[in-house]
Structure 1
Amino acid sequence: VFQRRSSASEDFYRGWRDYKDGFGNKNHDHWLGNKYIYSLTNQKTYQLRIDLRDSGSSSKYAVYSTFRINNQADKYRLSVGSHSGNT
């Protein structure tokens, strides 16, 4: 889990450095950090699953066949493959 945002406990309106290095508490709302996500996603092939829940009981998900982000020189550009799910 590289991001969790389930409450207002953490402010996600932040600058580049915070998103690069990460912030929050891994057991609560957090962003892992682009430099760490880059390091993980460039070791082997990964899928990305995104789960969305609203304040009621509705939920949706999306799965991308491949997922990686590029390095800082490329501004951590996101690359994803084909999409499936109910979003």
Structure 2
Amino acid sequence: MDTEGKGWTVVQRNSYNTEITWKEPWSTYKYGFGNVQQDYWPGNEYLSLLTRQNTYKVRFVVEDKSNNTRYAEYDIFSVEDEPSGYPLRLGRYSGDGEDYLTTYHSGLEGIHDNMKFNTTDKDQDQTSGNCASSYGG
């Protein structure tokens, strides 16, 4: 993906009209699913291996139904290994979208940074229910 003259590796694509529910079990999220030409998840194991190699940035690009595009960028991005629960690690935020990952937003049940990955069959979040059962991993 070319954005602002920089090359990016797309690590997830999730379109508005996707057929993917994202309510997959741990083993499916571990090795990935979907179609890289459409909507997909590359796999937590591969993200962990990739992000161990160097220091990376991540950019979340979101387009709404009206074709308005916003982004949130973090100057550090990594996913730890499976024994740790694949926790997400993010650095400083910049962008023109909301920072929904490293700051607290009431009603969204906390912060995603430094949290373990959660799936329908492996509840590792800090809420009383399993969020992945409602929203996906």
Normalized against structure 1, the TM-score is what? 0.95
Q: Deviations over 1:46-86 (max 9, x none)?
A: 00000001111211101100100100000000101000001
1:15-26 pair list within 5 angstroms: 15-26=25-36
Q: How many residues align?
A: 87
Greater Rg, structure 1 or structure 2? Answer: 2
**Larger strand proportion of the pair:** 1
Q: What is the Cα deviation at residue 8 of structure 1?
A: 1.8
1:2 aligned residue: 11
How many angstroms apart in 2 are the aligned matches of 1:39 and 1:70?
8
What percent identity do the matched residue pairs reach? 37
Equivalent residue number for residue 77 of structure 1: 87
After TM superposition, where is structure 1 displaced by more than 3 Å over at least 4 residues in a row? none
Q: Which one is further off, 42-51 or 7-16?
A: 7-16
TM-score normalised by the chain length of structure 2: 0.61
RMSD: 0.9
